[in-house]
Amino acid sequence: MLRLIGLIPLLPVAGVVINGLFGRRLSRRAVGLVACAAVGAALALSIGAVVQLAALPEGERSFEVSLGSWLPLGSIDGREVGIDWGFALDPLSALLLLVVTGVGFLIHVYSVGYMAHEPDVARFFVYMNLFMAMMCTLVLASNLAVLFVGWEGVGLCSYLLIGFFYDRPFDERTGLSCADAGRKAFIVNRIGDLAFLIGMLYLLLEFGTLHIGELGRAIGAGHASEAFLTGAGLLLFFGACGKSAQIPLYVWLPDAMAGPTPVSALIHAATMVTAGVYMVCRMSALYSAAPEALAVVASVGALTALYAATMGLTATDIKKVLAYSTVSQLGYMFAAAGVGAYTAAMFHLMTHAFFKALLFLGAGSVIHALHGEQDIERMGGLRSKLPRTFWTFGTATLAIAGIFPLAGFFSKDEILWSAWSTGHRAVWGLLLLAAIVTAFYMTRLAWLVFCGEFRGSAATWGRVHESPASMTVPLALLALLSIGGGWIGIPKVLAAGADINVVHHWLAPAITPVGGAAVHGAAQGGSAGSAGRGEHGAGDEFGAGTGFDEEGEFGSGGASGTGGERGAAGEFGAEGAHAVGAEHGAAEELALIALALVAAVAGILLALAIYRRAGVAQRLARQSGPVYTLLRNLYWVDELYDAAIVQPFYRISRISGAFDRWVVDGLVNAAGVGAEITGHVVKLFQTGFVRNYALMFLLGAVAILYYLATV
């Protein structure tokens, strides 16, 4: 099975081919069946592969296949450079692969129900399958070039799917149609992708390879200057900002909600938007070697987390609320990666995939039930009508708010802890605030939708109905995942000292922590960083200590490409303060956990307090005055971009357009006229009598023949 990973991206392509060619002739159910089967097969194959991977001893849990050379680039300053069409499966990609195919499969099943009343389903599923294929390519890519293919591919699919209802209007505030939304997403992503491409090419020129593993080794060997690495890292990160909707390129994601809800769930919540985070973790070797870049990542992430969350406060479109929440959660992940806790980032990525997909699907179910109504101002009290949706949605809400013991709790808490313990207190603060806000607006959302009085028309109320099984079953499954999904990452302190944090042991080999030190350092939430510091000398002891706990494992695991001897150094650094460090860290961590919980609960209660009784919210809005309008209009960022970038661009375009029309076309026309004049002369030869032509022909032939015979 491991050898077959090349097939994983191809299986969905089969679905694409079948539905793409015969979709119009197949029945709706057949189309759905094909699509789900394709993805299901991919899922099965992935599970098989990952199981086999897990069976391998921890050291060599990395498998690569090359489907042959793709871009033989010749030699770049002396080195023979060629890019293979290579796939790699290692713990990191395995995790995301499972998430992608698993969630993807559930969402496909869900879509069968959701799209039941929509026009050309075939096209929809073709795009969806194509997306799955591209996403799998992205995840499995063993070198940046292939990753970029997937990267662009998912971008394309996202564009296609956002604009799926290309003929429908979307946003009355900005007056976008769905097609516009798609275009917006595409263009904004292009900006990021360009940066990504440039960064990629820089790496290629510097190291003569794009293979991620080799890059890691090359960087670890310390050939490249830190400045260069920082630059490359930032470029790549800018690309990630585009794909994962971070400041300043987040604007497309809210509008991406123009797509059908399953799409929002799959692409704009669970998988594609997390590609950026994945990329950063994948390139951990690079980022760990470039602290400045990492700092930028962290700060951007943290800022986005809070910023987007605040915008979520006032949005009234159910899906937009979720969109902002997605942006902010992505901010969380970047923040985690930024403080060096890549594992935490991936962990949160996974749990987030579960509960955010669940939230979207729940929202979809609501919209489905209300026949396309998306404005929460016209919802309410749906709980009685949609019990299943309510319960699952509720679960997800608690999960994202970070209530113990749901998935969100563990991952979020871990991020907070890593931020704190690595000394990024500011990041920690922002994230904590974001957590409160998150809890608040999620509760608001849930309440406005499911509780209180129904604010829509009675007619609608009459027609509300619970969704079919094909939708509710995935909901249920995802609910289970968002409850239990976090238990694979239970921190030590809560496990009474027992080390049952599966995620870390799993991911460790694929991660290069900051300073390349003790791989398992991340076990206690990003203390990897501090362990690294321990090695640098200026370390705070509990980090080093906790880092030390894992040294033994690291020594045996021995999977880090680079940090061998440094790990040892870390060990020495940790030696002394080991005993004190452990429980000191534990106590502090417990305190932080409690704090996070309190924050979440506070947010929830506050929301309830405000929205339980009607009118309170409105009064609040009136009193807060400018703040409210600011939020309501999303800080006028769209308008800002429009004025600062789009309009000038249009003006330039008009000028160059004029140039083209008068100068370029002028030349062309001149050529045309010239040809015409010549034609008027030459046409005299064309008598229309075949035999004259033959005669001319013959004369020419005779002339040539004479020439040949004489000369």
Partner 1 sequence: MAFGPQSVLAVSAVLFALGVLGVLLRRGAILILMSVEIMLNAANLAFVSFARQHDHAEGQIYVFFVITLAAAEAAVGLAIVIALFRLRGSTDVDELSLLKW
Partner 2 sequence: MQTLAFFVLTVLAVGSAAVVVGPWVKNQVLCALALAFNLVSLAGFFFLLDAQFIAFLQVIVYAGAIMVLILFVLMLLNVQDERRLAAARPFQRWLGPAAAVAFALIVVAAVRSGGGALRYPQPSAGYGTVRALGLELFTRFFYPFEAISLLLVVAMIGAVLLAKRRL
Cα 212 from Cα 87, distance rounded (Å)? 11
Of the candidates 437, 451, 500, 463, the one whose C-alpha atom is nearest the C-alpha of residue 373 is: 463
Q: Is 458 in the site for partner 1 (CB under 8 A)?
A: no
Alpha-carbon separation of residue 374 from 377, 392, 693 (angstroms): 9, 19, 74
**Is residue 702 near partner 2 by the rule CB under 8 A?**
yes
| Residue 693 binds partner 2, judged by CB under 8 A | no
In the bound complex, what is the minimum distance in angstroms from residue 711's beta carbon to partner 1? Answer: 19
> According to the binding rule CB under 8 A, does residue 686 interact with partner 1?
yes
Q: Which of 55, 579, 690, 711 binds partner 1 (CB under 8 A)?
A: 690
Question: What distance in Å separates the CA atoms of residue 258 and residue 184, rounded to the nearest whole number?
Answer: 11
Contact indicator for 596, 432 with CB cutoff of 8 Å: yes
Strand partners, 177: 169
Using a 10 angstrom Cβ sphere, with 0-12 exposed, 13-18 middle and 19 or more buried, the burial of residue 199 is: buried
> Any contact of residue 676 with partner 1 (CB under 8 A)?
no
CB 259 within 8 A of CB 267: yes
Residue number, 649 or 706, with CB nearest to partner 2: 706
Residue whose CB is less far from partner 1, 689 or 707: 689
Quote the least distance from Cβ 691 to partner 1, whole Å: 6
User: To the nearest whole angstrom, how small is the minimum distance from the Cβ of residue 217 to partner 2?
Assistant: 50
Mention every residue, 6+ apart, whose C-beta is less than 8 A from residue 148: 193, 196, 197, 200
CA 117 to each of CA 29, 113, 257, 290, 374: distance values in angstroms, whole numbers, following the listed order: 12, 9, 19, 51, 17
Considering only 337, 691, 693, 711, the residue that binds partner 2 (CB under 8 A) is: 691
Question: Smallest gap, in angstroms, from Cβ of residue 681 to partner 2?
Answer: 20
**Residues touching partner 1, count (CB under 8 A):** 10
- Residues near 688 by beta carbon (within 8 Å), at least 6 away in sequence: none
Neighbours of 499 (CB within 10 A): 17
**Of 167-175, 233-241, 261-269, 703-711, which part binds partner 2 (CB under 8 A)?**
703-711
CA of 163: how far to CAs of 21, 126, 179, 269, 455, in Å?
21, 14, 4, 17, 30
Least distance (Å) between residue 688 CB and partner 1: 3
Cα–Cα distance between 31 and 36 in angstroms, integer?
Answer: 9
Contact partner at residue 699 from partner 2, partner 1, none, CB < 5 to 8 Å by partner kind? partner 2
Cα→Cα distances 357→117, 118, 392, 479, Å = 21, 21, 11, 10
DSSP helix/strand/coil, 170: strand
Q: Which listed residue (463, 683, 707, 710) binds partner 1 by CB under 8 A?
A: 683
Pairing of strands 79-89, 176-177: unpaired
Cβ at position 700, least distance to partner 1 in Å? 13
Separation between Cα atoms, residue 320 and residue 314, nearest integer Å: 10
Closer Cβ to partner 1, 463 or 680, answer by number: 680
Between CA 553 and CA 507 the distance in angstroms is: 13
| Binds 686: which of partner 2, partner 1, none (CB < 5-8 Å by kind) | partner 1
- Binding site partner of 457, from partner 1, partner 2, none, Cβ cut-off 5-8 A by kind: none
Size of the site for partner 2 (CB under 8 A): 13
- Work out which of 372, 689, 690, 711 binds partner 2, going by CB under 8 A: 689
Binder of partner 1 out of 579, 688, 709, 710 (CB under 8 A): 688
Q: Rounded to an integer, what distance in angstroms lies between the CA atom of residue 414 and that of residue 383?
A: 33
Q: Are strands 63-76 and 79-89 parallel, antiparallel or unpaired?
A: antiparallel
Q: Which does 688 bind (CB under 5 to 8 A by kind): partner 1, partner 2, none?
A: partner 1
Candidates 689, 707, 708, 709: give the one binding partner 1 (CB under 8 A).
689
Shortest distance, position 687 Cβ to partner 1, whole Å: 6
CA 560 to each of CA 165, 513, 553: distance values in angstroms, whole numbers, following the listed order: 47, 9, 12
Residue 706 near which of partner 1, partner 2, none (CB within 5-8 Å, type-dependent): partner 2
Whether the Cβ atoms of residue 411 and residue 350 lie closer than 8 Å to each other: yes
Q: Cβ of residue 700: shortest distance to partner 2, in angstroms?
A: 10
Closest to partner 1 by CB, 497 vs 700, is: 700
Please give the helix or strand (H or E) that residue 83 lies within, else none: strand 79-89
Residue 69 binds: one of partner 2, partner 1, none (C-beta under 5 to 8 A by kind):
none
Q: Tokens standing for 297?
A: 């990542």
Residue 690: contacted member of partner 2, partner 1, none (CB under 5 to 8 Å, by partner type): partner 1
Which of 56, 614, 675, 695 touches partner 2 (CB under 8 A)? Answer: 695
Q: Phi, psi at residue 7, to the nearest 5°?
A: -75, -25
> 77 or 689: whose CB is closer to partner 2?
689
Quote the radius of gyration of the chain (alpha carbons, Å).
29
Q: Rounded to the nearest whole angstrom, what is the least distance from the CB of residue 693 to partner 2 in the complex? A: 11
Determine the Cα–Cα distance for residues 601 and 595; give it in Å rounded to an integer.
10
Residue 456 CA to residue 362 CA, distance in Å, equals 19
Q: Is 706 in the site for partner 2 (CB under 8 A)?
A: yes
Give the one residue of 457, 556, 678, 692 binding partner 2; rule: CB under 8 A: 692
Residue 680 Cβ vs partner 1, minimum distance, rounded to whole Å: 8
Minimum distance from CB of 679 to partner 1 (Å)?
9
Cα four-point dihedral sign 433, 437, 440, 442: negative
Nearer to partner 1, 659 or 693 (CB): 693
Instruction: Work out which of 687, 700, 704, 706 binds partner 1, going by CB under 8 A.
Output: 687
Closer CB to partner 1, 495 or 704, in the complex: 704
CB of 683 to partner 2, least distance (A): 17
Residue selected from 695, 703, 704, 706 as contacting partner 1 according to rule CB under 8 A: 695
Is 710 near partner 1 (CB under 8 A)? no
- Interacting residues with partner 1 (CB under 8 A): 683, 686-691, 694-695, 698
- Interacting residues with partner 2 (CB under 8 A): 687, 689, 691-692, 695, 698-699, 701-702, 705-706, 708-709
